[in-house]
Chains A and B, each alone.
Chain A
Amino acid sequence: MNALLLESAPAFLDAAPAEDVLIRARADVAGNGSFGEQWVVVDQTNVRVFVGGAHGTVQRVPIAELIACRSESSVGGGAIVLERAGEAPIRIRYSQSEAAKFSEVVRGIEQLREGKAFHINGHVQRNRCSTCRRLLPEKDGICPACIHKAATLARLAVRLWPYRLRTMAVAVASLFVTAAALAPPLVTAMIVDDVLVPADGPPPMEERLGLLALLVAGLVGIRVASWAGEWVHGWNATWLGARVTADIRAELYHRLEMLSLPFYDKHPVGSLIARATRDVQMLQGFLIDGVPYLVTNLLTLVGILALMVGMSLHLSLYVLLPVPLILLWGAFYWSRLRMLFTRLMQSWGRLTDRTVETLTGIRVVKAFAQEAREIGSFNVANGGIRAAGIRVKLHQGIFFATMALITALGMMLVWGVGGQQVLDGAITLGTLVAFYSYMWMFLGPIQWLGEMNDHMSRAFASAERIFEIIDAPPEGAIEGAVVKRPPIAGHVHLSDVTFGYDKSKPVLKGVDLELRPGEMVGIVGRSGVGKTTIVNLIARFYDPDQGSVEIDGIDAREMDPGHLRSHIGMVLQEPLLFSGTIVDNIGYGKPGATLAEIMDAARAANAHNFIMAKPDGYETPVGEKGTGLSGGERQRISIARAILRDPRILIFDEATASVDVETERHIQVALERLMQGRTTIAIAHRLSTLRDASRIVVIEDGRISEQGSHAELMEKRGTFHELVQMQQATSEIIAVAD
């Protein structure tokens, strides 16, 4: 991440003193409101605004003179407003495209104005490809049109190495199949020239019959060989394609499991799932169906061309005459057809959306007596589909008919020119017949080349997106440091920790916190102040930006995260159970645990009784498909899961926030049993649950504002006291309402 926001500037900006420039940002609206540009350049002391390009004006505003810098949002754009005392504010307008960038600019100027440390997110996200200006599938993502196909192909090809024998078999089979496809017209030519109409007068009948039998047998042999070749080719190519995609899928999933949480913060889960499913499927389709088709067809095209040129260069040129026409027509019409298809799909989408909406809301429709209107709007949408469908069929008809016409005209040309050459004796009748067959074989695949290129681009873009994840670094210890796996007693020390999920927006600002082994510390504070962030750092889901987290005197960054986490038990607000039985879920963190151990953990978690009351006991299915467990029951199972690991450090993140008071009491009992002898960190919303904590830490705005025992803090009448008062007032209101 860049701390500075510097966009590549035109020459006239460089004429201005460039040292210490912190921000150089382009606004895409000119001073008069039309599209154009203005530049904002910020250094430690001044904001300079360049209006009107190279020959325009520069306005310099000392930051010391500013009384505020804010952004003003309007419909479809916004402006930075630089306010000065007693003077008109300066507005630098921009379109909505630049709103995110300028909110960082405003933040930066405000930091300088207030004399704070300058720290902004200087990375400007792109949503369009910088080369071809196409929309990227994801922000800062890969442009499907601009990837290096050769490089991607090479990476895919490397994956064939473990299966090189099969790959060789496929290659040989491809050549064989191609050769087998090319041979029959040559044999046909021999039948015509040597058997049916021999050029040098007819030889004896028996000789001709013998030759005919031999050639027909040859044709049969070629067909059988071709069948065998295709069998070998098809089987091996499919096997290879499936194997390579399975390898890629395995590698992708392995990497997804090993990636750190910060990676997941940056990539929405939906997009990762799309890569693991849609992109892999797209690639698989291409590797299994596309590549063998492409290879054999290309080989066939090259082979035919060579054979035709060998037989008659003159006639070959005539055969090639319709090729540009076919390619042009294909290029022209495919885009049109695709657009019509898209439109048809959109019409379908609209109809489906509309139907789902009205049928799910049928009670509302009926209540307002609007059935007739809904039927009317359905009919309009239905009419749209009909019209779009007819257009697609119509244009499809035109497309294929025209292709057939061009091909047929090419044939006529071959008959005309070739026939004349036969009459002139330049070529034999057999050659003409062979040419005729080759032309069919030649012009067919050419029609699909354009479509194939399209298919390939999309498959390669999918491959790139998959490789992007495979290439992401997994989480781990600091590079170069020895990964330590020390025994853990549970002494936790955060010293001067500063951390932000977005580096420019610190959530924790210099937190010092020490937990002695066996101590129970409660963390309280309003939502969003950084309570959960503290436990995220202790469990090493993230590493601090400044300062360190030490476990038993060893920097957590030097520890194997898996080892560290095996000594941490976590109970979260929303317990996530996986599909499986209660045994599977409690035993999740300790594979191989015996039923007796699991029952002990469940007893400690106050879960044993309700589990035994179920018909299937510990083998009751839970998770998505399982029978319903209440929120409190799920929570107690997750506590048992944490107990079973016998962790040295326990973390409760709002563990009882989403259950009723009665259940909370059950859970509280379980928790107290669990806490004995372990370092415990409890983030609590209901402050009453922290009465027994040896220490309570209050976090405000990323810093520790108060700490002490429950009684001490109540006496102090600070933030904690205020929070407790507020909660009591609320619960009284609830009590009255009940």
Chain B
Amino acid sequence: MTAANEDEANPAVLAANAEPSSLRVFRAPPWQTRLTVDGVLSFLVARPVRAAPLTDPDRYISFLDARNEEICMVNDLAELDDESRQVVEADLAAHYLTATILSIDSARNEFGTSYWDVQTDRGARDFVVQNAAENARWLGPNRLLLLDVDGNRFEIPAIDRLNKRSIGLLRRVL
């Protein structure tokens, strides 16, 4: 057998080169995400992760197997069939626990540490951000990611869409 033939028979290589249309992501048993290629090759554990979770969350989705090795990558979620896409989206939503800030109730700064009281899409929360230069990451002139002292993430996707009071508080603290 030549080296090329060997590669063709290797499931890892087969999967990595698979067309997105040949991929199917589903749950079996209901709590386990599986991935099959062309209905032939099947991975019992497939965990979707994002290559650029902050700026391009719906593109370049990689599937990792139980040993955290890449099975394959999908360039765009839209390339998957509807059922597969829904499963992947649900898994991604469960894995990336960033809360989206809807409004800011209070924010104050004390000696370089800022204290926040916010309403998010996941409910009310208060948190502390230390060293804003590092932990308030601007993902664009209008988009902000805050990392609190424990490593929790809070995102403001569009600052100009917050209410006036929230914008005022934000500008005063950062």
Contact = CB atoms under 8 A, between A and B. Distances in A.
B113 interface: yes
Contacts of A133: 115, 126
Interface stretch (B5-13, B71-79, B148-156): B148-156
B132 A346 contact: yes
B113 A135 contact: yes
Interface string A126-137: 011000011100
Interface stretch (B80-88, B93-101, B162-170): B93-101
Contact of B120 (A35, A74, A88, A134): A35
A34 B151 contact: no
A88 B28 CA distance: 11
A668 interface: no
Given A88-B30, A342-B111, A349-B133, A74 B123 contact: no
Contacts of B53: 75
B31 A76 contact: no
A302 interface: no
A666 interface: no
Contacts of B126: 133
Contact of B31 (A88, A346, A349): A88
Given A75-B53, A95-B150, A339 B30 contact: no
Contact of B109 (A30, A88, A134, A339): A339
Contacts of A96: 97, 150-152
B125 interface: yes
A277 interface: no
Given A76-B153, A349-B133, A342 B123 contact: no
Interface residues of B, number: 36
Interface in A348-384: 349-350
Interface string B122-153: 11111010101100000000000000111111
Contacts, number: 76
A36 interface: yes
A84 to B, nearest CB: 10
A134 to B, nearest CB: 7
A35 B128 contact: no
A362 B149 CA distance: 33
B97 A76 contact: yes
A88 B128 contact: no
A34 B172 CA distance: 28
Contact of B97 (A74, A127, A135, A350): A74
B31 A135 contact: no
Contacts of A99: 150-151
Contacts of A350: 133
A77 B97 contact: yes
A528 interface: no
A38 to B, nearest CB: 13
A77 B96 CA distance: 8
Nearest to B98: A76
The residue among A29, A77, A89, A93 with the most chain B CB atoms within 10 A of its own CB is: A77
B153 to A, nearest CB: 4
User: How would you classify the secondary structure of chain A's contact residues: helix, strand, loop or mixed?
Assistant: mixed
A99 B152 CA distance: 11
A127 B150 contact: yes
Contacts of B132: 346
B110 to A, nearest CB: 7
B149 A135 contact: yes
Contacts of A36: 123
A346 B133 contact: yes
Interface in B25-83: 29-31, 53
Interface string A80-99: 00000000110001011101
Contacts of B151: 76, 96, 99
Contacts of B122: 29, 33-35
B34 to A, nearest CB: 15
B147 to A, nearest CB: 9
A95 B172 CA distance: 27
B96 A74 contact: yes
Contacts of B30: 88
Contacts of B125: 35
7 contacts: A35-B120, A35-B122, A88-B31, A96-B150, A134-B113, A135-B113, A342-B112
Interface of B: 29-31, 53, 93-99, 109-113, 115, 120-126, 128, 130, 132-133, 148-153, 172-173
Across the A-B interface, give the 7 residue pairs with the lowest CB-CB distance, nearest first.
A97-B150, A96-B151, A35-B123, A76-B97, A77-B97, A34-B122, A76-B153
Given A33-B122, A77-B152, A95-B150, 6 more contacts: A33-B94, A74-B97, A89-B31, A96-B152, A97-B150, A346-B132
